[in-house]
Structure 1
Amino acid sequence: MNLSETNNDIQLTMVEILEFIWTLVDNTILIPQLLKANCVAFTLKWINMKELPFAIQRASIRLLYNMARHEKGCDALKGADALRLLQEFKQRTLDPTVDDTAYEDMRLLFSMALALLTEPKEIKSDAKSLRKVLDKLMQMTVNTAQKKNHKYGDFDISEPLVVFTKLFVHDDIVHYCVKESQVKNMKVPSKIAFFCDLVMQFRGALANDDELDQLTLTALMNIIWSISFHDDYVNELKSSAKFLITVKSLANDDGEAWVEQYVPKHMSSVKKAAAGILWNLDENNPG
């Protein structure tokens, strides 16, 4: 089927099907089942088509992003030459010199997918070239944090946080996000205070069976562990007694309440990250 030549009703049906699938695989545990249906090959074929309708382009990129959230999805996408095809799609469709707000969401999805598919050391570390993406990721995190269900639009708060865990291996990206990123409506005085407050909000993830809450806490602890390697931020991290008590309790947690949940292999466990934070802050006695 040539999707660029189908009528509007068929295109709408295709978009609805793709949206249903991407909603279904928001639960990353289901992604391996999607791979068995050869979804990688079909989706990459679609984004490789010229003049593909925008709605199908966006739905396809969203689906690729969701598949990239799982290690098996990453492996399947890499094996199908997804990085090259995505770069070609970017050059053909997401020209950064074109100021078209209709593509802003898709540009962000593309960047998130690319970050998840790329090994941390291979990710472009020039924060200046990534400013728009980093600003949008920070803003998305703030927006989702302020919602009662921690969702904003199509995104759960865990999604930008997991992407940050990959990006924060680069010092200049950490510094940009913490010091310079442009964020509106943040209700705390600093980005570090924002991340620390989120840890305290999600501390209860250990006592419930919400896998996304637990993934969020895992990502947050990895993010703060990355931040804690920088001397510039140690004093602020140590300034909150409540935060330190929370981290110490997490370092002692046995994890018995954790539900079965896929966690990307590039992230450390909450307990390990907590111990690392305490060590970096010279608070390595969790007792």
Structure 2
Amino acid sequence: MNCSSTVQTIQSKINAFYHLTMTDDDSKIKNAIHEVLNLWPEILTAANEATDDELFTLNVNRAVLTQVFTIVLSKEFFNKDHLLVREIFFGCFNLLVDHLYIFKNTDLTPITIFIDSNVRLIMKMITSITSLVNFTNEDFSKIKDYQLLIAMREHIDQDNEQDNLTDGIISFIWNLSDRTILIPLLINTGYPESVVQWIKIRERKFRNDKLDAPIHILHNLSRHDDGIKALNSHGALGVIEEMKIEPKIYDDPDDITIHIAMIRVLLTDIYQIRFDSIKYSNKIINMIIKLSIDSVKNDRSRYNGSHVSEPLTVIVKLFHNDEILHSTFTNNETKTTIESLIELLPSYLIKFYPRIDIDDDILENYTCAVILNLLWLVSNHKKYRQIVGNNQALMDIIKQAASDELNFVDKFMPRTMKSIKQSANEILKNINS
């Protein structure tokens, strides 16, 4: 079959999707996205032999495929169909693997421009659904998966033009790094060292709307103990310490300053934090607490991209310093916000703890653990125990956690934290003493 007839065949297949709408039956829409994923490799292969006019036709028809993806994302069933989400993500990711060369290519021809634009579109698609994928330890285990991630990193390393691929890659890696289970993958493909370097030259390396992306990626890497070790081996803490950024508004949880402050805490050894209070002002701590409050109030437990577990993890680490803990509960600036936060936390535990062994959601389970660690540190101090002990709903959950046979320990939980069962028992011991 010559190229012209191949393009015509593809055209006829694409025509079947022209009239797909959001009102169509769910099964029809699911079938359409599967057909699209099977068709896209044909389009990219056909481009290799296509004339300029045929490339134009393929490019125009690609919009129909994008429309199918958009319709699927808009449907209520999508967020609940974990298998479909994985199929779409890895179907697209494998397309990127098959066209890895585009991340190393410097020749601009009609074909490479076409492939490049498709690769960027595919990256944009999977970036938008990364947060919904139930990843496992077996994912990205092929050598070519590693090679793709390395090629993406090296493309940014070598790019000094802020090109479109760099813009797409940094967004994808940002979302990928938000999944803690994937941090070892990013470590093994060299991202800690590169991210530290990107931050040093971010004004030259990235477009204005992505200037903060490497900071957020570094933050995500630092949420994993192995990430902390890798980052510190490349001087990440020193780079963060040198960033003299002052918040525009101290009560604005959106400000990048809060992320820099949280990174500093995460990268600092807990024993150093215990003896170093001066670096952590009440204003900064108040911002972190407010971010926790805004996150826990949200239906998805997120605010401005941050999951409630992120600022809570930082607060827990800071509260290993008794001086910081006491100051937070007594300072006029922070007293009200920390008490408001603790009042909100039981609602999270009541919602998610009873389902901890049903949903098996790593993030929800970890959040329950970090909340109980926070309450344990508070209950260590007699003058604050009533804040925990006087909340009957909270105490019921704590008693249940202490007596449950289930002893969940998140493999990604910082080594300095106690398990759910351990922290619950410690809280009860403190309350009853």
What TM-score range do you get, normalising by the shorter chain? 0.7 to 0.9
For residues 196-207 of structure 1, the aligned pairs below 5 Å read 196-207=346-357
Deviation at 1:122, TM superposition (A): 1.5
Supply the distance in 1 between the matched residues of 2:191 and 2:299 (Cα, whole angstroms).
33
| CA-CA distance at 1:163 after TM superposition | 1.2
| Residue type at the aligned position of 2:219 | Y
Shift of 1:29: 1.1
Instruction: Quote the residue 2:301 is aligned against.
Output: 150
Shift of residue 158 of structure 1? Answer: 1.0
Give the Cα–Cα distance (whole angstroms) in 1 for the partners of residues 396 and 285 of structure 2.
30
- Alignment partners' CA distance in 2, 1:226 and 1:212: 21
| 1:206/1:255 contact within 8 Å kept | no
- 1:243 paired residue number: 394
Secondary structure at 1:194 match in 2: helix
* Alignment correspondent of 2:264: 114
Look up the match of 1:37: 189
CA drift of 1:154 comes to 0.8
Structure 2: 5+ residue stretches without partners: 1-155
More helix by share: 2
Aligned amino acid, residue 249 of structure 1: Q
Equivalent of residue 62 in structure 1, options 191, 216, 240:
216
Using structure 1 for the length normalisation, give the TM-score: 0.83
Q: By how many angstroms is 1:116 displaced?
A: 0.8
Contact 1:68 1:117 in 2 (8 A): yes
Q: Deviations over 1:66-104 (max 9, x none)?
A: 11111111111111121122222x14xx2x3x7489996
Bigger radius of gyration among the two: 2
CA–CA distance in structure 2, aligned partners of residues 277 and 109 of structure 1? 30
Cα pair distance change 1:238/1:226, threshold 3 Å: same
Counterparts in 2 of 1:182 and 1:103: CA distance versus 1, 3 Å:
closer
Q: Deviations over 1:200-228 (max 9, x none)?
A: 33323423221111111000000000000
- 1:192, distance to aligned residue in structure 2 (A): 3.3
Give the CA deviation at 1:240.
2.3
Alignment length (residue pairs)? 271
Equivalent in 159, 173, 176 of residue 21 of structure 1: 173
Query: Cα gap change, 1:252/1:103 in structure 2, threshold over 3 Å: closer, same or farther?
Result: closer
For 2:147, the equivalent position in structure 1 comes to none
Aligned position for 1:48:
200
**Percent of matched pairs sharing the same residue:** 26
- The structure whose RCO (Cα within 8 Å, separation 6+) is larger is 1
- Taking a change above 3 Å as real, the CA distance of residues 189 and 78 of structure 1, as seen in their structure-2 partners, is closer
> What is the TM-score when the length of structure 2 is the normalising length?
0.56
Q: CA deviation at 1:263?
A: 1.2
Query: Do 2:159 and 2:166's aligned partners in 1 also have CA atoms closer than 8 Å?
Result: no
- Taking a change above 3 Å as real, the CA distance of residues 234 and 103 of structure 1, as seen in their structure-2 partners, is closer
Deviating more after overlay: 20-29 vs 103-112: 103-112
